[in-house]
Amino acid sequence: MLLASLNPAAVAAGADLGDAVRIDGVSLSRSDLVGAATSVAERVAGASRVAILARPTATTVLAVTGCLIAGVPFVPVPADVGAAERRHMLTDSRAQAWLGELPDDTDGLAHIPVRMHARSWHRYAEPAPDAPAMIIYTSGTTGLPKGVVVSRRAVAADLDMLAQAWQWTPEDTLVHGLPMYHVHGLVLGLLGSLRIGNRFVHTGKPTPQAYAHAVTDLGGTLLFGVPTVWSRIVEDGDAARALAPARLLVSGSAALPVPVFDGLSALSGHQAIERYGSTETLITLSTLVTGERRPGWVGVALPGVQTRLVSDDGAPVPHDGESIGQLHVQSPTLFDGYLNRPDATAEVLGDDGWYHTGDVAAIDSDGMHRIVGRASVDLIKSGGFRIGAGEIETVLLGHDGVREAAVIGAPDEDLGQRIVAFVVGDANPDELIEYVGQQLSAHKRPREVRLVESLPRNAMGKVLKKELAQWL
């Protein structure tokens, strides 16, 4: 059963331990979840697909849960998505109705309401494991967003892997303030809690004060955040110290800068868990509760996951911790393909079952992985050298005058690409170039450092490097 903690028989037998979900000022017990979500399932059953405006609300929780009970695939739609992208998601997915909250423009779709106080105790048969659970659309950085079809089997397998890696149990209280339309906040945060049976708290905005309150006043033990969240908590100081009673801090969706990792460790006493994955693979790599947590590295392959590095010509790349190659993944958590896009699916999913992530990485002899970044924007080929942008960014962030940094390769007639760094801070550009040169090889020094007020980021905190390239 995918949502194992919502077994109606167990709830009826007294496994209803107070509030199971706290979100947007609403508390839901496990009995509330079963009864209200089953009521949703009755209204949505028989639909082929529905769209859910995935705001962090109790309505969204019940809509998602009701779909999973009824076996109806859902499309989580960001509330702030542009009209053209939203229309594409609805048309491409052939969603039949909006379930729950409505956007300002419904695009002509019918509406199925979520009634918070309605209850049903009808028993639904568990859908087949290979049935699609959801269709999550990519960010569309290389064209229109693609619909990633994620099966129930993949979700269950991934959550069980992470429960083992993080010693995640029903005794935990999981806290985050992340969007509810991505893997991090939706699959790991909400569905993970409903499978494992722990209490789930959504903070609303992921402010340092909200995270501190969730630990000190609500008993938060397992905290999820993106690097921007952790960076702001470290800057707050008091908020970071307030996280000391928690059990585990988990960072993902982008690389955690080493200074932030070190700051969390010094202030809260916690070395953050880092993990790696994508919408297409869910989470496949992680540092472990019982293993080494190395700043700048995202850990080892989870049970059942295999990884490999290949060069541009397809040759194996050695696992020496230094050599960089394209990362391929094979896992029981892989997606079933891009909806209506067999061509795009074939480009990234080989006949041998290996998913080509589009990321470049290094793997050491112990199986620890370091993600260099996207092959398209983070692998810089300059003067015959292959250089990872992340390595330079890590060094820049170690300078006292640098708050944020992003490095890209700009076209150069002589070098092929020249290294350009965008920095938020108050350091002297020439000083930063020399600073990098003192710590890394000469060919890794930026040829240019630009001071900027802020870096463009998406909703998950990832820097939009293609937008930076346009700034040039």
Q: What is the CATH number of the domain that holds 16?
A: 3.40.50.980
Q: What mean pLDDT comes out for the span 439-448?
A: 87
User: What is the four-CA torsion angle of 426, 428, 433, 436, rounded to 10 degrees?
Assistant: -50
Q: What is the pLDDT of residue 16?
A: 60
428 lies in a domain? yes
Domain limit, last residue, from 75, 108, 127: 127
Segment holding 466, helix H or strand E: helix 465-471
End-of-domain residue from the set 127, 153, 181: 127
Q: Note the maximum CA span of the chain.
A: 73
Q: Does residue 140 lie in a domain region?
A: no
Mean pLDDT of 106-124: 94
CB 80: neighbour CB atoms within 10 A?
11
Q: In the prediction, which pLDDT does 141 show?
A: 53
pLDDT of residue 439: 84
Q: What is the CATH number of the domain that holds 393?
A: 3.30.300.30
pLDDT band at 415 (very low <50, low <70, confident <90, very high): confident
Residue 398 lies in a domain: yes
> Is residue 234 scored above 90 in pLDDT?
yes
254 φψ region: left (φ > 0), alpha (ψ -120 to 50), beta (else): beta
Residue 180 lies inside a defined structural domain of this protein = no
Whole-structure pTM value: 0.87
pLDDT of residue 82: 84
Backbone angles phi, psi at 12, to 5 degrees: -65, -25
Among candidate residues 189, 183, 187, 193, the one with its CA nearest the CA of residue 203: 189
For the residues 107-111, what does the mean pLDDT come to?
A: 94
Q: Is residue 319 part of a domain?
A: no
Give how many domains the chain has, as a whole number.
2
| CA dist., res. 463 & res. 23, Å (int) | 28
Decide if 430 is inside a domain: yes
How high is the pLDDT of residue 86?
92
What is the predicted pLDDT for the residue at 174?
98
Which of 127, 150, 165 terminates a domain? The answer is 127
pLDDT at 167 over 60: yes
Q: Which of 51, 78, 254 is nearest to 182 (CA)?
A: 78
Rounded to an integer, the average pLDDT of 274-280 is 96
| Mean per-residue pLDDT, 381-390 | 79
For residue 299, give the DSSP letter: B
453 assigned to some structural domain: yes
100, part of any domain: yes
452 has a pLDDT exceeding 60: yes
Taking residues 308-335, report their average pLDDT.
94
- The answer, yes or no, to whether residue 213 has pLDDT greater than 80, is yes
Question: Which pLDDT value is given to residue 61?
Answer: 98
User: How high does pLDDT run on average in the chain?
Assistant: 92
- Expressed as residue numbers, the domain containing 3 is 1-127
Can you give the pLDDT at residue 460? Answer: 59
